[in-house]
């Protein structure tokens, strides 16, 4: 059974006709045609599906779209623009972090929330915030350098 669900996605008011039990990830990708976040594990363990829900990093693969009714959803595409990238996006480019890019939503959205709450995190705080995220390309050290760079920009 579908319901009308209102949200704001990347700054745009959005109206969905969807089953409230549909995972937010599927609504973003299938219903709205966004190519990020990604489907990774489907169990909220890898982080590839991470978005912000009212500013909080959320694993969208297990979040029912009905539970985010009326909330603001921000994807990695909503962090910045090519002309005015978010400091993390600029730092990821400067540190040459992206390899396959599949995991970027998890790392970047989690780090963006960390930097918003703790503009000058310690190395230990960065590692703690990013614990549990997966990157099969092994760019972990470059990611940590990018977060530090963004924190000092």
Tens digit of pLDDT for each residue in 26-85? 999 999 999 999 999 999 999 999 999 999 999 999 999 999 999 999 999 999 999 999
Alpha helices in the chain (DSSP H): 24-26, 87-94, 104-117, 123-130, 140-152
- What the chain holds in terms of domains, given with CATH numbers, is 3-78 (3.10.20.30), 87-152 (1.10.150.120)
pLDDT beyond 90 at 153: no
Q: Which two tokens stand for residue 126?
A: 């960065």
72-128 pLDDT per residue, tens: 999 999 999 999 999 999 999 999 998 998 999 999 999 999 999 999 999 999 999
Q: Which two tokens stand for residue 100?
A: 């396959």
| pLDDT at residue 90 in the model | 97
Query: How is the beta sheet containing 56-59 ordered, strand by strand?
Result: 12-18, 3-9, 72-74, 50-53, 56-59
Cβ–Cβ < 8 Å for 58, 28: no
Question: What are the structure tokens assigned to 42, written together?
Answer: 């489907």
pLDDT for the residue numbered 40: 94
137 or 113, which is more confident: 113
**Per-residue confidence at 9, pLDDT binned at 50, 70, 90?**
very high
pTM: 0.94
Position 65 scores a pLDDT of 98
């Amino acid at each position: 059974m579908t319901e009308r669900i209102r949200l704001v996605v990347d700054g745009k008011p959005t109206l969905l006709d969807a089953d409230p039990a549909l995972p937010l990830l599927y609504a973003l990708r299938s219903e709205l045609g966004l190519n990020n976040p990604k489907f990774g594990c489907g169990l909220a363990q890898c982080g590839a599906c991470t978005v912000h829900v009212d500013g909080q990093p959320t694993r969208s693969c297990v979040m029912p779209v009905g539970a985010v009714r009326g909330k603001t959803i921000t994807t990695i595409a909503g962090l910045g623009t090519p002309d005015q990238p978010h400091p993390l996006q600029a730092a990821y480019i400067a540190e040459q972090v992206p390899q396959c890019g599949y995991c970027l939503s998890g790392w970047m959205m989690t780090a963006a929330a960390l930097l918003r709450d703790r503009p000058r995190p310690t190395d230990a705080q960065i590692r703690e915030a990013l614990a549990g995220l997966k990157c099969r390309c092994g760019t972990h050290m470059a990611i940590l350098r990018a977060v530090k760079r963004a924190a000092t920009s």
